[in-house]
Amino acid sequence: MVRSVENGGEAVEISPDHFDPTAVVPEPLPKVVESDGELLNGKSNGDREIVLGRNVHTTCLEVTEPDANDDFTGDKDAFMASILARYRKTLLERTKHHLGYPYNLDFDYGALAQLQHFSINNLGDPFIESNYGVHSRQFEVGVLDWFARLWEIEKDEYWGYITNCGTEGNLHGILVGREVFPDGILYASRETHYSVFKAARMYRMECVKVDTLVSGEIDCADFKVKLIAHKDKPAIINVNIGTTVKGAVDDLDLVIKTLEESGFTHDRFYIHCDGALFGLMMPFVKRAPKVSFKKPIGSVSVSGHKFVGCPMPCGVQITRLEHINALSRDVEYLASRDATIMGSRNGHAPIFLWYTLNKKGYKGFQKEVQKCLRNAHYLKDRLLDAGISAMLNELSSTVVFERPWDEEFVRRWQLACQGNIAHVVVMPNVTIDKLDDFLSELVEKRSTWYQDGKVKPPCIATEVGNENCLCTLHK
């Protein structure tokens, strides 16, 4: 809120005396309820439901009209500057305790500040000029060529674009598959990102969910059973290059082998690889299976704001050029063609990606991947040493462990949770010091949560396997 004073007979809004521009703005914790509606207040590991209609208006920043003589007084500018200063302080605090989501927050794009004065929009097909001249297609295609080399496809054999997020990459990949096989059935493991199932609903596709192993990988035995049950229709398959919760990498070669053994020739299936996070990390992991267009895959997508570290959501989607004509349409208004999902795209994002790829290169990314994997193993080992159930997949930097009992703790460290498990995604900005701070606080909190024996740590053997569960039943 602001107060007003008289200035020549007119009211002028100014900051209240108690307004502290350096204060951290607390965010309210969403209520947690059991399935019967009883509030848990974050003190139980029972069934949790998200409460709809959370009243964010209690913390929103109201938009107010400037005063008539504000150009003279400048009070509104000063007020907004103080709001932004306080918001920046909040961002610094929340970044310091950011562990559960796969975003690389270690970047510096100060050199690109000079471009913020321009409205850069990459309309339509990246490879065809349009009438709109304020674009960054030259950067976009340069980034796409870099990823094409990474995934082993020739320049004249691929088509792609910089998406507005990872979900758009999945929506596009599944859409291409649907256009190639209009009567095809979509197969996806139960631990697939929700955007793939969103695509199935949007495109009115028949979708078959496939069971997963304890690791989170697709269960190819169950996959084979379901393929044979629907062998009369083509298969559109989503392959996870790192699942959302456990960071599990589906065995692409085994998926292809299963398709072939089930009677599906290469002209009767389409594979989309969702590599949101690990699609860029996998090429730099020794012994990791290769994602390559030399194999019979149809498309690959990754997020640009995750491992790369772009300050705005974006992604990369690449598919085979031969598939794109079914989607592409002439747009006279643009004097171009368009086969993208959104049409207009953030023209700044390709420049940020181009800048990082040039600075780090393949060797730079390889060093960062190795650092993330080392730190992830460090966290997993420390958790187990502290008696906390934990699991880490071989090709992953996502450490899964028992869900903390206190939801305030979960919110403080911004942990991603599902049922009785939580995870930390170790990214380049997650240092050993940050992990030590997190571990020491977690161990201290657990000593109070479970001290009287009335509440016990959850058993997560079903989620991580008996060998990784340290509950009283599996120690």
Q: Say whether pLDDT at 272 is over 70.
A: yes
State the pLDDT at residue 224. 98
pLDDT tens digits along 85-102:
999 998 998 999 999 998
Q: How confident is the model at residue 381 (pLDDT cuts 50, 70, 90)?
A: very high
DSSP state letter for 11: E
pLDDT tens digits along 140-182:
999 999 999 999 999 999 999 999 999 999 999 999 999 999 9
Are the CB atoms for 2 and 62 separated by under 8 Å?
no
Chain Cα centroid distance, residue 209: 21
CA distance 136 to 344: 12
State the pLDDT at residue 387. 95
Are the CB atoms for 140 and 316 separated by under 8 Å?
no
Q: Say whether pLDDT at 201 is over 90.
A: yes
pTM value is 0.87
pLDDT tens digits along 410-424:
999 999 999 999 999
Q: Say whether pLDDT at 342 is over 50.
A: yes
State the pLDDT at residue 58. 58
State the pLDDT at residue 215. 96
Are the CB atoms for 365 and 217 separated by under 8 Å?
no
Alpha helix stretches (DSSP H) within 389-470: 407-412, 432-449, 461-464
Are the CB atoms for 377 and 260 separated by under 8 Å?
no
CA distance 44 to 306: 31
Tokens read off for 382: 């420390």
Residues annotated as catalytic (active site), given as ranges = 396
Q: Name the percent of the chain lying above pLDDT 70.
A: 86
Mean pLDDT on 350-355 = 96
Mean pLDDT on 339-366 = 94
DSSP state letter for 405: S
Mean pLDDT on 253-279 = 96
- Alpha-carbon radius of gyration of the chain: 25
Name the helix (H) or strand (E) containing 169: helix 166-180
Which range, of 24-38, 281-295, 322-336, 337-351, averages the lowest pLDDT?
Answer: 24-38
State the pLDDT at residue 452. 84
pLDDT tens digits along 431-455:
999 999 999 999 999 999 998 888 8
pLDDT tens digits along 213-249:
999 999 999 999 999 999 999 999 999 999 999 999 9
State the pLDDT at residue 195. 96
State the pLDDT at residue 297. 98
